Structure 1
Amino acid sequence: MIFPVIFLFGVLVKETLCVTGLDAIQRVTGKTFRCLIQNDFKFFIARVWESVGKIDIVGIENIKSARQSGVQYADGYIFPCLRPGCAPAKNQVEATVNRLREDKAEIGMLWMDIEILEWPSNKEENRRFIEDMVTQAEAMKVKVGIYSNNNNWEKIVGLDWTAMSKYPLWWTNDNGEANFNGFQPFGPCGVEINLNWYP
């Protein structure tokens, strides 16, 4: 499966031909965001739903802080809860979007984090779960992207599943360089961050 847009995830990458940004799960202050902006960071992505089945309050506050500090583009990502007893996929998305709106934390896109952690072995069931997340987000008029890589995708839904190929892909690659080396088609400022870029 080939995704139309690819966001590369790397570590401490700086290129002049790409737009750099970050994602972080710990609290980031307005002062730190302003420092990052001065160092050419243009976007921020926050976790807004945790894999334990609850809203990530720190992530939502980070989005608001990023926006107030002048970060032009801010997105959120859902790390879905897959344990027995977790809310259905659509309810997790609905709760997330409602809370973002309630707290006036404006995002451009909501990324569905599809990586290995507690996913059942039933690929058909996993596909339905992802479809339910995406369908709910779209029903709430939220732009959707997929966060994954070849290894995760293969184990969770299989490389033959192409239903999500129309959505932007945030591809993970920890090679420390702003490039697409290693990509396989498939279905500074005192803060610890994951640096991101897009062409």
Structure 2
Amino acid sequence: MWKVGLLLLSICALAKCADDNRFELGFETTDEIKKENLKCLKDADYKVVGVRIYNNGEHDETGLKNMETASENFTVQALVVPNISKAAAVQVTDIVKRGRRNKQALQKIFLKITDPLCWWQEQERNVAFINLFVKTAQSLKLKVGFYTNWYDYKVITGNSARFSPTEVWYWKTLGVGDDAKGETNFDDFYPFGPIKGHPTRLGSRAGPGRKSRPGPRAGRGRPGPARFNFSSARPGPARGPARAGPGRPEN
């Protein structure tokens, strides 16, 4: 059973956000999407799908398939989990080449800057990696947004404002389950690092092993649960990046 969450996608310009705080509903999943699942979500007025197309330096085949499945009726947001031990430029090039081979015209990706255990302890080293990733993408006509929150971004980069203003997909919940879901607005968002506006928000999550049922219950004003695909921030390693292993949270 795949998991469904709430995305609040800002579709207004920053100058208009104060007066016009419109949003669209969406969901994120790392599990395989079936067309029959998409139908009930479309009927519930969902517009956006978040899929992971790259994970730890490798193509995510499930996510790439999900992109193809959902692209007919939904706006698809592509998520990238990098491997900081692999050259940033190589990873961006891999992503673009695969998109072209699959005839998927990628215009924007969201780089996950989450889980400090998966990054270098030295913040400047992380900033240099992100900077090269962004610059390489820009040279290939690919926009990069950040998938993070203010705390993880601060721990990983020192709240660096080195990058050009960018879109952010941020998350904030008050725990696990329906009772912890956030409000359907952006009142808890404030600028950090290079992020100034145009936010996308993940507002709810399910606990470990929790199953969710996509459908009308996850309609406007009643966000359904989602697997939260990044852990809370923890102290960085003594040397080098941490490696995934048994018990590691999924990125």
1:24 aligns with 2:49: no
Q: Report deviation, 1:104.
A: 2.1
Q: TM-score, normalised by structure 1?
A: 0.79
In the TM superposition, residue 194 of structure 1 has moved relative to its aligned partner by 5.9
Change (3 A) 1:192 1:63: farther
Pair 1:185 & 2:191 matched:
yes
By how many angstroms is 1:135 displaced?
Answer: 0.9
CA-based RMSD of the aligned residues comes to: 2.6
Report the identity percentage. 26
Segments of 5+ residues of structure 2 without an aligned counterpart are 9-20, 175-180, 194-212, 216-223, 229-251
- Count of aligned residue pairs for this structure pair: 178
Matches of residues 39-188 of structure 1 in structure 2 within 5 Å?
Answer: 39-51=44-56, 53-68=57-72, 70-71=73-74, 73-82=75-84, 86-116=85-115, 117-159=117-159, 161-164=160-163, 166-175=165-174, 176=181, 177-187=183-193
SS at match of 2:27: strand
CA positional deviation for 1:193: 3.8
The 10-residue stretch of structure 1 (32-41 or 170-179) with the greater mean CA deviation from structure 2: 170-179
Question: How far is the alpha carbon of 1:127 from its aligned partner?
Answer: 0.5
Q: What is the CA–CA distance in structure 2 between the aligned matches of 1:105 and 1:24, rounded to whole Å?
A: 19
| Structure 1, unaligned runs of 5 or more | 1-9
What is the deviation of 1:59? Answer: 0.6
Residue 5 of structure 2 contacts residue 27 of structure 2 at CA under 8 Å; is this kept in 1? no
Q: How far apart, CA to CA, are the structure 1 residues paired with 2:7 and 2:154?
A: 27
- Of 98-107 and 30-39, more deviation after overlay is shown by 98-107
Contact 1:22–1:194 (Cα < 8 Å) also in 2: no
Q: How far 1:140 moved relative to its partner? A: 1.1
Q: Greater Rg, structure 1 or structure 2? A: 2
State whether residues 61 and 105 of structure 1, in contact with CA within 8 Å, keep that contact through their aligned partners in structure 2. Answer: no
**Contact kept in structure 2, 1:60 and 1:105, CA below 8 Å:** no
CA distance in 2, matches of 1:193, 1:28: 14
Contact 2:5 / 2:225 at 8 angstroms: preserved in 1?
no
